[in-house]
């Protein structure tokens, strides 16, 4: 593996990696690796959507900007009669600006291809339509008002009242945090059943609704199929990557499981950056040599055991998402506090700042 464009003074969690171009499949779907036969079955509780048609720009009213993505801006907008709804629906619009690079255009349409496969699930952001007839191109998505899970966790650090009680606290409770992990597990169970690999699962790519429901989002890195081999030069979320992804360019559902374990650690530490105090190179070397993050003192052993199972060096020994969901089902059925926020030492997990080019 050839590491390229590394700045030794920047700890951004992503690494530029140059890989030889080599195709691993004869079957593609709009640039995605596609699997023939053994078609994935969806969760029977939710209906799949038919592929949406182009949405008329005349029925879209772009409002304020919500943020900047890697290849463009994200806006809040009003959409008239979108996805079978009557009247006006508030949506999120991901824009691909004109005059962008070929890589940006490719990433945009790969994300669009994955979104068209999704169907609907309460723990996955819904795809509502697209505008690709002319520049600028738009992806129209469900609007989720609460922002990212990462920002929700980090904002809660400013709250002085950490309630381990199951209600009444103005900040996040232990049960809230456990439910966040449960929601993400349910969303990922749904995606893995459809053979969709997220490849960038992290709290920054999960959105939180007004009622604190978490929804898996940001499918710009995602691919469809049982396995994907990275062949292009791209920035990578090293701190969330399994060893087989870091060193052999392989992605499967089990690499998403590894990332879920890191996401669980993020939740427990209220949004700290994983592997605190370690550089990118130290993280890569540590993971290769078997290093795993220690149990946060305020974290219940059952949650940490779940993290460790996600970080098994052997992908085959990591749990399936449906098993992770069942484990969290059981934890949610009890009244036990699995994260003791009252004993959280924020100074131990204060690593929050990253470089501007990091997708945090």
Q: What residues are labeled active site?
A: 200
73 belongs to an annotated ligand binding site: yes
Crossing angle between the packed helical segments 301-310 and 253-268, to the nearest 10 degrees? 150
225 belongs to an annotated ligand binding site: no
98 belongs to an annotated ligand binding site: no
- 8 A C-beta contact, residue 192 and residue 35: no
204 belongs to an annotated ligand binding site: yes
164 belongs to an annotated ligand binding site: no
- 8 A C-beta contact, residue 320 and residue 260: no
Instruction: Please state, in angstroms and rounded to a whole number, the distance separating the CA atoms of residues 242 and 248.
Output: 10
67 belongs to an annotated ligand binding site: yes
167 belongs to an annotated ligand binding site: no
Determine which helix (DSSP H) or strand (DSSP E) holds 310, and give its type and residue range: helix 301-310
119 belongs to an annotated ligand binding site: no
- 8 A C-beta contact, residue 72 and residue 136: yes
Exposure class string for 307-327: b at 16+ Cβ within 10 A, else e: bebbbbeebeebbebeebbeb
- 8 A C-beta contact, residue 187 and residue 124: yes
Instruction: Please state, in angstroms and rounded to a whole number, the distance separating the CA atoms of residues 232 and 2.
Output: 12
Determine which helix (DSSP H) or strand (DSSP E) holds 330, and give its type and residue range: helix 321-332
Instruction: Please state, in angstroms and rounded to a whole number, the distance separating the CA atoms of residues 167 and 154.
Output: 20
101 belongs to an annotated ligand binding site: no
Residues in the chain: 360
Angle at 118 between CA 116 and CA 121, to 5 degrees: 140
163 belongs to an annotated ligand binding site: no
Contacts of residue 138, defined as CB under 8 A and 6 or more positions apart, other chains included, come to: 55, 57, 60, 93, 94, 95, 96, 130, 131, 132
- Residue 27, token pair as written in the block: 């079957």
Which residues are annotated binding-site positions?
67-74, 94, 204-205, 218
Which parts are annotated binding residues for ATP? 67-74, 94, 204
Residue ranges of the binding site for Mg(2+): 205, 218
């Amino acid at each position: 593996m050839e590491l390229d464009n590394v700045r030794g003074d920047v700890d951004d969690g992503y690494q530029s990696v140059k890989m030889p171009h080599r195709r691993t499949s004869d079957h593609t779907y709009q640039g995605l690796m596609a699997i023939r036969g053994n078609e994935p079955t969806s969760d029977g509780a939710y209906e799949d959507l038919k592929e949406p048609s182009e949405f008329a720009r005349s029925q879209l009213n772009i409002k304020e900007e919500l943020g900047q993505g890697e290849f463009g801006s994200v806006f809040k907008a009003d959409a008239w009669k979108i996805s079978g709804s009557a009247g006006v629906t508030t949506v999120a619009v991901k824009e691909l600006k004109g005059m962008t690079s070929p890589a940006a255009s490719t990433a945009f349409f790969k994300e669009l291809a994955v979104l068209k496969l999704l169907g609907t699930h309460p723990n996955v952001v819904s795809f509502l339509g697209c505008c690709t007839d002319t520049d600028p191109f738009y992806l129209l998505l469900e609007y989720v008002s609460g922002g990212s899970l990462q920002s929700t966790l980090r904002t809660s650090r400013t709250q002085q009242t950490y309630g381990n009680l199951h209600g009444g606290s103005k900040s996040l409770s232990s049960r809230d945090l456990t439910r966040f992990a449960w929601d993400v597990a349910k969303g990922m169970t749904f995606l893995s059943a459809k053979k969709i690999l997220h490849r960038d699962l992290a709290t920054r790519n999960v959105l939180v609704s007004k009622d604190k429901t978490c929804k898996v989002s940001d499918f710009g890195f995602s691919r469809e199929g049982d396995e994907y081999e990275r062949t292009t030069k791209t920035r990578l979320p090293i701190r969330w990557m399994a060893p087989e992804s870091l060193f052999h360019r392989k992605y499967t559902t089990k690499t998403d499981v590894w990332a879920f374990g890191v996401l669980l650690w993020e939740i427990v530490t209220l949004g700290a950056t994983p592997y605190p105090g370690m550089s990118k190179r130290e993280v890569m070397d540590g993971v290769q040599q078997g290093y795993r993050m220690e149990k946060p003192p305020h974290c219940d052993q059952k949650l940490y055991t779940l993290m460790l199972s996600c970080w098994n060096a052997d992908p085959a020994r990591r749990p399936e998402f449906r098993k992770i969901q069942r484990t969290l089902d059981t934890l949610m059925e009890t009244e036990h506090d699995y994260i003791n926020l009252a004993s959280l030492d924020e100074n131990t997990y204060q690593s929050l700042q990253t470089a501007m080019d990091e997708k945090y």
